[in-house]
Amino acid sequence: MGIRLKDLSKLGYRDNVARSLAVAIVGKHCKHQSKEQIIKTLSDVLENPDTYKENETWSKLAEHLSPTLIEKKFTAYDLLDEPLPYKTYGGKFIETLAKQQMNLAMRLPVSVAGALMPDAHAGYGLPIGGVLATDNAVIPYAVGVDIGCRMSLTVFDAKADYLKRYSHQIKEALKNYTHFGMEGGLTFAQEHEVTEREEFQLTPLLRDLRGKAIRQLGSSGGGNHFVEFGELLLQGENVLGLPEGNYMALLSHSGSRGLGAAIAMHYSRIAREVCKLPREAQHFAWLDLNSEEGQEYWMSMNLAGDYARACHEQIHLNLSKALGLKPMANVNNHHNFAWQEEIAPGRTAIVHRKGATPAQAGQPGLIPGSMATPGYLVAGRGVEESLCSASHGAGRAMSRQKAKESFTRSTMKKFLSQAGVTLIGGSIEEMPLAYKNIDRVMQPQEALVEVQGKFMPRIVRMNKE
């Protein structure tokens, strides 16, 4: 025997969710009861929901009608009176707000060390280009919303003149085998072991996000994310072990898509609930790694990082196959992530790099410029004072809004043409002049990294905004 919405309204069920739950429960569990019995029970559940919370049939409806109040435990913290000392690289070209945000981060009671990279600019919480080491605590907003945002460079068994000879085929491959933007994904199925990982079954959030992760696999976000072919001039005795010369290479920049963003927002909210900080520092709320929430975030963050890597692997695989190119070497690195590292002899900490490249001794990394300026293949020098870090790019010289107000599409088109760069998609916000001079950013970190090669973009694909 079914029940109608009109019947529920007469009983006093005014809430659409409650009425939907009631209809579903009756349809599933009350097929052999009379209408009078059903109405009597529904009336009793409405009047006395707490008595039905343990009832196998009616518990969901009862809980909705009278939610169990769970007292959330939190701890309030004060900031240190003065920031801990930290090293700033290229401070002359870093805006004041970014420095103020770093100073605030260094006043957290869990902070133990920090550094500010020469491409730094203001962000939410930790500035972009900020590196922060904490004591057994992870700060979701110090990792960033785009968890695992990263670079990947593939060097092909092809000389740089391939770019001119097969420019049409390259453009078509970029149009057909990449996808950019907030929604959707590639038009053809992608397969990668990362989507079968058991972590996707370990929390309700990850279970809900798996479908989106499968759909978006092999695609890129908006903003400054890109996939581009260009010339790589490699120096001799480089970290790739390849002969000195001028190669064609593929460089990509993107992160963990909707998966990482949802993880970041979910655990940032939880962190703010359990870690109460003064208003100006609320974005620095952290999760203790000994807590259940801290362990959940750490697991989810690492999964998102592996997913971001998988997206790059698919992008490079799809384009290699489409163009019949043979990869010779690959370099890739995160620059929005947290690692457990030894920051000094016998001293381990959680190192957050939000827009910063890991630069352990001998570690290869990528520091891109803009779409019309060089990027650099580097090897880290392992400088302890920088927390073994380097910049993650040129860094913005002006905000996205300022770029929109300052340039036109025709101005950007002319600028790119003069630089010998073809752009597919893209927006005024990514005008090269909106970024800092990459060589000016590289100079203050000569002690942090050793240049191994120089990459010049030629055919660039970005999201059209």
In the predicted model, is pLDDT for residue 72 greater than 80?
A: no
Same domain, 57 and 148: no
313 located within any domain: yes
> Is 346 found in the same domain as 253?
yes
Domain end call among 16, 33, 65: 65
Question: 131 in a domain, yes or no?
Answer: no
Confirm or deny that 55 is annotated as ligand binding: no
* Residues with Cβ within 8 Å of residue 360, at least 6 apart in sequence: 380, 382, 388
The CATH number given to whatever domain includes residue 157 is: 3.90.1860.10
What pLDDT is recorded for position 182? 79
Same domain, 59 and 175: no
Cα gap 171→43, rounded to integer Å: 66
Q: Is residue 173 located within the same domain as residue 290?
A: yes
Q: Is 370 marked as a binding-site residue?
A: yes
Residue 156 to residue 159: CA distance in whole angstroms: 8
Residues 183 and 299 in one domain: yes
Last residue of a domain, one of 359, 383, 398: 359
Structural domain count, the chain: 2
Does 366 score more than 90 pLDDT? yes
Do 44 and 147 have their domain in common? no
Catalytic positions: 392
Q: What pLDDT, on the 0 to 100 scale, is given for residue 124? A: 85
pLDDT score, position 330: 98
**Last residue within a domain, chosen from 343, 359, 375:** 359
Q: Are 163 and 229 in contact (CB under 8 A)?
A: yes
50 is in an annotated binding site: no
> Could you tell me what percent of the chain has a pLDDT over 90?
84
Residues 162 and 308 in one domain: yes
Q: pLDDT of 206-257, one tens digit each?
A: 999 999 999 999 999 998 999 999 999 999 999 999 999 999 999 999 999 9
Residue 116 vs residues 124, 156, 383: alpha-carbon distances, Å = 15, 34, 13
Q: Has residue 102 been placed in a domain?
A: no
pLDDT tens-digit series, residues 103-119: 999 999 999 999 999 99
Q: Is 371 annotated as a binding residue?
A: yes
Render pLDDT for 39-62 as a digit per residue (tens, 0 to 9): 999 999 999 999 998 999 999 999
Q: Examine residue 245 and state whether it is found in any structural domain, yes or no.
A: yes
Whether 278 is covered by a domain: the verdict is yes
Question: Are 238 and 452 a contacting pair, CB within 8 Å?
Answer: yes
Other CB atoms within 10 A of residue 212 CB: 15
Asked whether residue 174 falls in the same domain as residue 319, the answer is yes
The range of the structural domain enclosing residue 43 comes to: 5-65
29 appears as a binding residue in the annotation: no
Residues 6+ apart with CB under 8 A from 110: 134, 135, 136, 137, 286
pLDDT band at 70 (very low <50, low <70, confident <90, very high): low
Task: State the pTM of this model.
Answer: 0.85
Amino acid in position 309: R
What pLDDT does residue 305 have?
98
Strands 449-462 and 422-424, sheet pairing: parallel
Report the chain's mean pLDDT, rounded to a whole number. 94
- Residue 368 marked ligand-binding: yes
Cα–Cα dist 259/284, whole Å: 21
Q: Calculate ∠ Cα 236-240-242, nearest 5°.
A: 55
The annotation status of 393 as a binding-site residue, yes or no, is yes
- pLDDT surpassing 90 at residue 7: no
- Are residues 57 and 200 part of one domain? no
Q: Is 146 annotated as a binding residue?
A: yes
Residue 271 has pLDDT above 70, yes or no: yes
Asked if pLDDT for residue 421 goes beyond 80, the answer is yes
Residue 419 resides in a domain: no
d(CA 348, CA 104): 22
281 in any annotated domain: yes
For 428-460, give one letter per residue: b (16+ CB within 10 A) or e.
Answer: bbbbbbbbbbbeebbebbeebbbebbbbbbbbb
| Virtual torsion, Cα 297, 298, 304, 305, nearest 10 deg | 150
Is residue 262 domain-resident?
yes
Cα(263)–Cα(147) distance, rounded to whole angstroms? 8
224 is in an annotated binding site: yes
CA distance 398 to 274: 35
Question: For residues 152 and 150, what is the distance between their CA atoms, to the nearest angstrom?
Answer: 7
Q: Do 349 and 224 share a structural domain?
A: yes
How wide is the angle at C-alpha 186 spanned by C-alphas 184 and 190, nearest 5°?
Answer: 115
Residues 61 and 171 in one domain: no
Q: Which range (37-51, 268-282, 350-364) has the least confidence?
A: 37-51
Co-location of 43 and 159 in the same domain: no
Return the pLDDT at 184.
72
Q: Is 200 annotated as a binding residue?
A: no
Is 290 annotated to bind a ligand? Reply is: no
**Residues 125, 145: Cα–Cα separation, whole Å:** 11
SS3 of the chain: the string is CCCCHHHHHHHCCCCHHHHHHHHHHHHHHCCCCCHHHHHHHHHHHHHCHHHHCCCCCCHHHHHHHCCCCCCCCCEECCCCCCCCCCEECCHHHCCHHHHHHHHHHCCCCCEEEEEEEEEEECCCCCCEEEEEEECCEECHHHHCCCCCCEEEEEEEEEECCHHHHCHHHHHHHHHHHCCECCCCCCCCCCCCHHHHCHHHHCCHHHHHHHHHHHHHCCCECCCCCEEEEEEEEECCCCCCCCCCEEEEEEEEEECCHHHHHHHHHHHHHHHHHHEECCHHHHHHCCEECCCHHHHHHHHHHHHHHHHHHHHHHHHHHHHHHHHCCCEEEEEEEECEEEEEEEEECCEEEEEEEECEEECCCCCEEEECCCCCCCEEEEEECCCHHHCCEEECCCCECCCHHHHHHHCCHHHHHHHHHHCCCEEECCCHHHCHHHECCHHHHHHHHCCCEEEEEEEEEEEEEECCC
The pLDDT tens digits for 132-186 are 999 999 999 999 999 999 999 999 999 999 999 999 999 999 999 999 987 778 9
